[in-house]
Amino acid sequence: MPTDTHLPTVHMTLPSGDPVRVRPLSPTDRDRLAEGFLQLSESARYQRFFTPVSRLSNRDLAYLTDLDHVDHFAWGVESVDGEGVAVARYVRLGAGVAEAAFTVADRYQNLGLGRRLFQALAAVAALHGFARFEMTMLADNVAMARLAGSMGAAFDPPVDGTVRCEVALEERLWADLPHLEEFLRLAGEAAGVEVDRRRPITR
């Protein structure tokens, strides 16, 4: 999670009033991601990975931070004190579709950050030509189900304790996202493409 304050960053105030800093994850965030993961509750780790993971391996960390920012993109969030707060990520599954996943540190959950990150991630994915997100969550993950539901998700019936859903990436999802232009500019810079909001970016 980001702490290099000289790097381009979106300064955002959560609906709760908490200030946070957001920017695309990069390999320099590797150690901070490992540390942030260790701070997560067992329950949050299980909800994210569906298995009792105690630490991220070097291979995991390389995969999770060495991104091309088009087919694999992630927002990293930190507090103003440099504490790791959240990660929101998408990974291409196929033509026009990406898997999305979110992790918010326990202390910051239920403050509206997940919703903001969903909006910021969806806007970036749409710019890169994605039409929908797929998500899989544990069937008892009320917070993720509510978040996805508020974004218009269509849910499949539960299978083996997990639920899969799809969200169509439409502009109305992120229409009220504060700092939208900044988010898109940073994501475009990370991907090395110029952002033209009038048409989707495709490669």
Ligand X SMILES: CC(C)(COP(=O)(O)OP(=O)(O)OC[C@H]1O[C@@H](n2cnc3c(N)ncnc32)[C@H](O)[C@@H]1OP(=O)(O)O)[C@@H](O)C(=O)NCCC(=O)NCCS
Please report, as ranges, the residues that interact with ligand X according to CB under 6 A.
Answer: 44, 47-48, 101-104, 109-115, 135, 137, 141-144, 146-147, 150
Kindly tell me which of 167 and 201 has the beta carbon lying closer to ligand X: 167
For the stretch 197-202, contacts whose Cβ atoms lie closer than 8 Å and that sit 24 or more positions apart, written own/partner, are 197/127, 200/126, 200/127, 200/128, 200/129, 201/127, 201/128, 201/129, 202/128, 202/129
Please identify the residue of the shown chain whose CB is closest to the bound ligand X. 114
Kindly tell me which of 111 and 180 has the beta carbon lying closer to ligand X: 111
Query: Smallest gap, in angstroms, from Cβ of residue 108 to ligand X?
Result: 6
Q: What is the DSSP letter of 195?
A: -
Both tokens assigned to 59: 């291979």
Query: Smallest gap, in angstroms, from Cβ of residue 159 to ligand X?
Result: 15
Query: Smallest gap, in angstroms, from Cβ of residue 177 to ligand X?
Result: 12
Query: Smallest gap, in angstroms, from Cβ of residue 46 to ligand X?
Result: 8
Q: What is the DSSP letter of 14?
A: -
Q: Which amino acid is at 112?
A: G
